Amino acid sequence: MAVKKIGEKYYCTVCGNEITVTKVGGGTLVCCGKEMILKVE
């Protein structure tokens, strides 16, 4: 999933790491070899 805006939160389904986007640079976020998932709050 491509990063679209500041403040979005993503998580890793393998290890549980979570990140918050602070700068949009394009591309996708990857952790443990898999794409991270957008967290819906």
Q: Is residue 18 part of a domain?
A: yes
Q: Residue 30 is part of which domain span? A: 9-38
Q: Is residue 3 part of a domain?
A: no
Q: What is the pTM of this model?
A: 0.84
Instruction: Give the integer Cα–Cα distance in Å for 41 and 31.
Output: 20
Q: Is residue 1 part of a domain?
A: no
Q: What pLDDT is stored for residue 1 in this prediction?
A: 72
Q: Give pLDDT tens digits for 1-41.
A: 789 999 999 999 999 999 999 999 878 999 999 999 999 87
Q: What pLDDT is stored for residue 25 in this prediction?
A: 86
Q: Is residue 4 part of a domain?
A: no
β-sheet bridge partners, residue 31: 34
Q: Is residue 24 part of a domain?
A: yes
Beta pairing, strands 34-35 & 9-11: unpaired
Q: Is residue 2 part of a domain?
A: no
Q: Is residue 34 part of a domain?
A: yes
Q: How many domains does the chain contain in total?
A: 1
Q: Is residue 16 part of a domain?
A: yes
Query: Among candidates 16, 12, 5, which has minimal Cα distance to 29?
Result: 12
